[in-house]
Chain A
């Protein structure tokens, strides 16, 4: 199946700093990418939908100025958590939909963010 790679898998940052998470589709073109966050023992919560070359669409309650999403190419989307605080500590997961496989979503392995 198609592969989606996330980097880094784990990151620890200081409160007030920014962190960038990359999501790459390795063997397909991803016209749409999705970003989720997941707190312990909870399900994945959709944060935003990112389309290549256009602005991301954020879900209600997600601050667009805090969670900056860039989808500059058909194989790369980035999520930047700006001015991170301890409450932003979470598991962030990206997902990509291929133009050619419209019925399936492929997920990255996730990024564990810890803000200290």
Chain B
């Protein structure tokens, strides 16, 4: 399974945008880039996913590099409720395992 690399932690001020980076240099053509986040004592929550093009939804935006070797999750206006661990994961269409890396712990300051 292709691996992802993320910074251990990041800090943001409330109401400001946050850019969470993820490197996946060994990504294959069939890997979808997924982002999940996990609040304390909860299961992971889906945030967004994409294959090649940038994606937007009500929660966030996903910017994917042209060579697909990196991506960035963008939270446009961080709130205190966005404080969580964010995981960047590669999922193969029809594949089995979803392997989690260490993720990025996002701290949001009021």
Chain A residues proximal to chain B, CB less than 8 Å: 1, 4, 6, 32, 34, 36, 43-46, 49, 91, 93, 95, 97, 102-110, 112
**Docked-complex contact B98 and A106, CB < 8 angstroms:** no
The segment from B17-25, B65-73, B86-94 found at the interface with A is B86-94
User: Which of A1, A32, A97, A108 contacts B43, CB < 8 Å?
Assistant: A108
**Docked-complex contact A107 and B41, CB < 8 angstroms:** no
Question: Which residues in A have their C-beta under 8 angstroms from that of B94?
Answer: 102
Question: Which residues in B have their C-beta under 8 angstroms from that of A93?
Answer: 43-44
**Docked-complex contact A104 and B49, CB < 8 angstroms:** yes
A-contact bits for B43-76, CB 8 A (1 contact / 0 none): 1111001000000000000000000000000000
Number of chain B interface residues as a range: 20 to 34
Q: How far is the CA of A50 from the CA of B99 in the complex (A)?
A: 15
**Docked-complex contact A104 and B97, CB < 8 angstroms:** no
Output the least CB separation between B34 and chain A (Å): 7
What would 13 more interface pairs be, CB under 8 Å, given A43-B103, A102-B94, A105-B46? Answer: A1-B46, A6-B43, A36-B100, A43-B85, A43-B100, A46-B99, A93-B44, A103-B32, A104-B34, A104-B49, A105-B98, A107-B45, A109-B43
Pull 5 A–B residue pairs with CB atoms less than 8 Å apart, ordered by A.
A43-B85, A46-B97, A91-B41, A93-B43, A104-B46
